Amino acid sequence: MPIDQEDADKLQDYVVKHRIFPCKQKLIMEQKWQCPYYTGSKQKGCSIYVARPKICKLYQCNSRPKLQEMKVLKNAIPVDMWAFALAIEREMKRNGINKETRKTTKEGI
């Protein structure tokens, strides 16, 4: 998925602040092309909706983004979102953020 540095920073900050972990349900993991923050739930499909990248804001299931809208992605580069999400998850764990309780086990975080 093409994201720029602004998207990456915003997404990382949001994920860490809200202690959001990649969705690793079997169905989602079998189809790794899906966003790691897609929950599979119709009620709450995107766990990062507030901080979603620009490409997600432009993309509509029923239409293509217009060329002029795509200009906001000029500095974007293709990113493996699973690798990105798992790197953030590793850093969260390294800093003592527990997935089960979503609480910090180290002071000062």
Helix (H, G, I), strand (E, B) or coil at 97: strand
| pTM, two decimal places | 0.67
% of the chain exceeding 90 in pLDDT:
26
Residue-wise DSSP of 17-73: HTT------HHHHHTTTS-TTB-S-SSS-BTTGGG--HHHHH-BTTBPPPHHHHGGG
- Mean pLDDT, rounded, for 14-38: 77
Name which residue leads in pLDDT, 17 or 33.
Answer: 17
CA distances from 69 to 1, 66, 76 (A): 16, 5, 13
27-76 pLDDT per residue, tens:
555 665 578 888 777 667 788 999 999 888 877 554 555 555 666 677 78
Q: What is the largest CA-CA distance in the chain?
A: 48
